Structure 1
């Protein structure tokens, strides 16, 4: 005996996202910056260590930038967090 599945094709799926904008709220977002200062080797090693710990991807950090101290560089990571 065969079973027909054509009857199920007329069912309208329930939307997964509500289209009622009046009940949805947009959370406030804030930028937070993490800065590492040090030698090129020190900054790069710290970025790699933080990557291994799952803190941030290596490519999320800025390129090495000169700081105001001679021989010192810095790199900046910007994260956007939800505030309440």
Structure 2
């Protein structure tokens, strides 16, 4: 159950967490995950703001809105390090 929550912690938090566990548990490995939002500028911006409100990612963590090949559509990407 602990692994479910550690994937979203910052590295400083993980170091503290590791100090509180016995050394017999495996050390979590880092892996990248990419979130890609595609839609209207309003929909993408609204989703990015919502993800900040729920504490998942800050607005500044996302790339700027980039146009796609479809008129009126943009995309933004967030790359995070998670622990697995």
User: What band does the TM-score fall into relative to the shorter chain?
Assistant: 0.5 to 0.7
The residue number in structure 1 matching 2:64 is: 63
Q: Which of the pair is proportionally richer in helix?
A: 2
Rg (Cα) greater in structure:
1
Please report how far the alpha carbon of residue 29 of structure 1 lies from its aligned counterpart in structure 2 after TM superposition.
2.2
Any unmatched runs of 5+ in structure 1?
Answer: 1-25
Q: How many residues align structurally?
A: 59
How does the TM-score come out when normalised to structure 2? Answer: 0.62
Any unmatched runs of 5+ in structure 2?
Answer: 1-26
Q: What's the C-alpha RMSD, in Å, of the aligned pairs?
A: 1.7
How does the TM-score come out when normalised to structure 1? Answer: 0.62
